[in-house]
Structure 1
Amino acid sequence: MNVGICYADSDRQLWLRLEVPDGSSVEQAIRQSGILERFPEIDLESQKVGVFGKFAKLDAALNDGDRVEIYRPIVADPKTVRRRRVERED
């Protein structure tokens, strides 16, 4: 089956398409894609992953056509960013 793997850091992004065996898990697809070698900062133990924008576990089974996403940690609290923006507008 065909799946996509995507990841973006602050200045580059990558979207890979690959064929994986039927019944492959999210983690198996990520490892097979080679993306961990291209982005050594990815830590599957601490970073969240998802399929089509919904959080998923590493052992979740994939379906043909799924898009696996590897999420970066949030570096700024959205509430803090919004508050600072409002303060600057005053």
Structure 2
Amino acid sequence: MVAETFMVEVAFALPHKQRVVAVEVRQGTTARQAVALADLPQLFPEVPSSTFEQAPLGIFSKVLRQPDTETLREGDRVEVYRPLQIDPKAARLERARRQASGQ
């Protein structure tokens, strides 16, 4: 018996470059496995490949608590989230300081 396959998308973006990769997967494929199949390190050589292996994942903007076990459905879009460059609280504090000093 042949396993059923279907299409999903894997999305990743940098400020200057975005890609959505269509991937054919088998029933039971997890979000993390789909990211591996999309071969994002080849499309984003400037990003360490470990980023894609460990990054938080989501499906249609909903963060997955267990991306290594979350199985996909036809048409899902798996989103790979970038690590934060700066803590949001620190960024707000810095903006408040700049505004207070008139800059």
| Count of residues paired in the alignment | 90
Aligned 1:70-89 pairs, distance under 5 A: 70-89=80-99
* Residue 28 (structure 2) aligned to one of 12, 23, 29: 23
For structure 2, the 5+ residue unaligned runs are 1-5
| Distance in 2 of aligned mates of 1:52 and 1:61 | 14
Quote how far apart the aligned CAs of 1:62 are: 0.2
Question: RMSD in angstroms over aligned alpha carbons?
Answer: 1.8
Which structure has the higher relative contact order (CA within 8 Å, separation 6+)?
A: 1
TM-score, normalised via structure 1 length:
0.81
* Secondary structure of 1:20's aligned partner: strand
Higher-Rg member (1/2): 2
Deviation (angstroms), 1:3: 0.9
What TM-score does the superposition give when structure 2 sets the normalisation length?
Answer: 0.73
- Which consecutive segments of 4 or more residues in structure 1 shift more than 4 A? none
